[in-house]
Structure 1
Amino acid sequence: MKRPAGLTRPVTWSIAIILVLVVAVVVVLVVGLSTPDGTDNPARGGDTPGSVLSAKPMDDLPLLMKLGKVKGSVVQYVSTDSSGKRTRVSGTVFKPGGEAPAGGWPVVAVAHGTLGINTECGPSSSSDLHGLIGLAQGLLGAKYAVAIADYQGLGAAGVHPYLDSDTAGRNVIDSVRALRSVFDDISPRWGGFGSSQGGGAIWAADEDARTYAPELDLVGVVAGVPAADVVGLVAKARAGTLTRDQAPALQWIVEAAARSHPDIVRDDYRSGSAVTNWDVLSACAGPLVSRRNAAADALGPFDLAPRTDEAAARLTDLLRSYALPRKAISAPMYVLYGDADTYIDKAWTKAAVAKACALGDRLTISEQAGKGHGDIDLDNALPWLQSRFAGATSEQDC
């Protein structure tokens, strides 16, 4: 099935992950097949961020994970939204097979790109984690424990605050806490990787890590094509200059916002085909999703334009509250983006990076000529993160 139009296509570590997988296959074929136990010592209950509310062993792990004696679990855990309210969030956590190194398995938290705004859009609702299982396999083959948050409102019941990076970032941090509760021998040292929506989430997690989770040791994060600041979508909608890729993303922003913000009224932001196709455009699964790309193609240049100055101001203010940076990061960050991105304008990312540099952030920056949103070169991402775990100093490109 063709993936529905949204803010991102899945971004993967290509060559580096393939090499890791090849090595993993060679190694684990020696140890033979095993049936994984999904948890070691799950500590359930409590209301502090990261507390595990439920943990269900994954019995449908791919063959490579079974060969490697990987343990996997679908979890629900406590997290915190941007207002400080406790929430229930779901996700998946994994532990490599074999004996852990001294200090426990280091962790990579994966912050996924846009998959949708409805409950069924969370990675944990799919046996292949909506395409993320290969990335998880590669990281496990490289001997990292892996945590993949669904984000609030995806997977577990609730409203998903789409592109609220602060909330998603805390969901990511708390997925690491949940991983350490479910499995033994997990190190407090962790790194992060995210792309698009996940790029914004992992950036926000880096900003919050020092104060939100002082018991964990963040070594660095990779933020690919980060949705750091998309306030400019409102002005482009009013000017009729949204790209084909930006228009359906804006529809998801409006619909998600309307579910939790009474001042965001859907009819203030839709006309023409957006009215008749609204439910189709909101879908990520089920019978409507097959029509979503056609509905996105049918959008006219002003079908998602705010109808009044007041409506434009309300949506602008909301997106400003989501925008990054907000404060200095806790650990080095590697930012990668393309100068031909049709989802997130290059100028928006460059401005966010410049602000982060002004805050004193340590950034490795890769602006890639001719690359868009889903085809940036991420081959250096895993080696960069491995160097941070090894204690090497990262480049400062500010």
Structure 2
Amino acid sequence: MFSKKKRAVAAAALAVAVGLPLAGNAVAGPHDVPGTAGAKTLTDTPEAARPAFYEPPASIPSTPGTIIRSEPAPLLLDPFDLSSSVVTATRIMYSSTDAHGTPIAVTGTVFVPKTSYVGASQRPLISYAPGTQGMGDSCAPSRQMESFFEYEGIGVGRAVARGYAVGITDFQGLGTPGSHTYMAREPQGRATLDMARAAKNLQGSGLDNKTPIGLMGYSQGGGAAAAAAELAPSYAPELNIKGSAIGAPPADLAKVGANIDGTTYSLFALFATLGVATTEHVDPKPFLNAQGLELASKVESACVFDLFSYANLDSSKYTTSGKKLSELLDEEPFKSAIAEQRIGKRKPNAPVQINHSLGDDVIPYAVGKQLASDWCDKGTRVSFNAGVTPTHVGGFLPHVEKSMLFFEARFAGLNQASSCWRL
């Protein structure tokens, strides 16, 4: 057994380090699918050269969760490999499927503490869905950890501090060829579930089919974790999921889009338009004028840190009709594509916790509360926590802390109190 002090040292080291049987193979089809060899972006914008690790093979294993390749994860703030004494960090490429069932390659990072887990179960695994990173390949969490600050290191570090293994996905098309399917329900949920499968399949991880699993994410990651929770019963029923901790989930993109169009967070609306259009095969070009096409091309390589460069855009200046982006999203073909991303129509297979700040300025509080109500109506045990910390960013840290308490109880076999009676 290791002392609490040693576990705390492990957590601190990681927080600094991260930034602050094989089935038959399936060959990518003739159409461009993000996460397959040679895939192009939605806008045909050439992508910057990527490290060889991120280039998918011509033939992708058809069994989701298969490890395609792995290597020690290089971490920006750990050039002397000091964290290796307390945690093993491995960058992986694994197989998943897109929204239409096509095998794709997805990358990510797996962290396994070298300290012992002292909880009531065997060492748990958190499949961690990251919040908004951007659209460009360089924005992928596994690459940010190598070359820049990765804010999700805060949540990952807290989980590792408790002795949990953590797998954080890069999602479809983020790091690999093709457009990132930002905010697309199925590919994000599948990538999150398949990361759990891949972490179990990673040699030396010490994880197996009995490993207790939690799903966790905030913002974009909250939507991905929520989608994964819903998809798990049909897509990954073998996973031993004990619960999902979900923060500020964008469960209704129509309402989120209307809330952020023309604000500081205009870039997020642009990300979502391109990401959903990629997944649902909607060609945005006929709806964009010359300025709009140029804007979309730039957004393809933008990261979250470019937020203020696109703040307060008047989106009507970039459309052929002169309508705002939020208005276009309420018309076909975008309306049906956006509706397909709605979360809350399916029942998760384990209890969930939803954390959402009353003062969230990006994803309306009412959206998170509605998701909780929708799941309650389907018989899910839901704990809904209304936070008082203002703004979307402000709600992140409270979500992380509440998630840790939730998981500790779930992995110990305890149930949280249900909020359904008051929703």
> Normalising to structure 2: TM-score of the pair?
0.74
Q: In the alignment, what sits opposite 2:102?
A: 85
SS at match of 2:109: strand
Residue 123 of structure 2 corresponds to residue 105 of structure 1: yes
Native 8 Å contact 2:261 2:325 kept in 1:
no
* Superposed CA offset, 1:243-281 (max 9, x none): 51443222112233444555432452568x756644444
Q: In the alignment, what sits opposite 1:36?
A: none
Q: In the alignment, what sits opposite 1:32?
A: none
Q: In the alignment, what sits opposite 2:235?
A: 212
Residue 414 of structure 2 corresponds to residue 389 of structure 1: no
Residue 180 of structure 2 corresponds to residue 163 of structure 1: no
Residue 193 of structure 2 corresponds to residue 153 of structure 1: no
Q: In the alignment, what sits opposite 2:207?
A: 186
Q: In the alignment, what sits opposite 2:21?
A: none
CA–CA distance in structure 2, aligned partners of residues 56 and 217 of structure 1: 26
CA–CA distance in structure 2, aligned partners of residues 203 and 291 of structure 1: 27
Q: What's the offset of the Cα at 1:145?
A: 0.7
Q: In the alignment, what sits opposite 1:47?
A: 62
* Superposed CA offset, 1:148-176 (max 9, x none): 01000012223322111221111011111
Q: In the alignment, what sits opposite 2:270?
A: 251
AA in 1 matched with 2:302: C
Change (3 A) 1:169 1:21: farther
CA–CA distance in structure 2, aligned partners of residues 97 and 257 of structure 1: 39
Change (3 A) 1:229 1:22: farther
Native 8 Å contact 1:268 1:311 kept in 2:
no
Native 8 Å contact 2:131 2:219 kept in 1:
yes
SS at match of 1:138: helix
Residue 242 of structure 2 corresponds to residue 223 of structure 1: no
- Which stretches in structure 2 are left out of the alignment for 5+ residues? 14-59
* Superposed CA offset, 1:272-329 (max 9, x none): x7566444444335xxx87652332343677572598798222121111011012111
Q: What's the offset of the Cα at 1:46?
A: 3.9
After superposing the two structures, state which structure 1 stretch, 166-175 or 93-102, moved more: 93-102
Residue 137 of structure 2 corresponds to residue 119 of structure 1: yes
CA–CA distance in structure 2, aligned partners of residues 143 and 244 of structure 1: 40
Q: What's the offset of the Cα at 1:189?
A: 1.3
SS at match of 2:335: helix
SS at match of 1:313: coil
Q: What's the offset of the Cα at 1:370?
A: 5.7
- For the aligned residue pairs, the C-alpha RMSD in angstroms reads 3.2
Q: In the alignment, what sits opposite 2:345?
A: 326
Alignment partner for residue 295 of structure 1, among 310, 327, 338? 310
CA–CA distance in structure 2, aligned partners of residues 27 and 153 of structure 1: 30
Q: What's the offset of the Cα at 1:339?
A: 2.1
SS at match of 2:253: coil
CA–CA distance in structure 1, aligned partners of residues 10 and 349 of structure 2: 37
Change (3 A) 1:221 1:292: closer
Q: What's the offset of the Cα at 1:397?
A: 0.4
Q: In the alignment, what sits opposite 1:352?
A: 371
* Superposed CA offset, 1:175-216 (max 9, x none): 111111114321421112100011011111111223322222
Residue 213 of structure 2 corresponds to residue 196 of structure 1: no
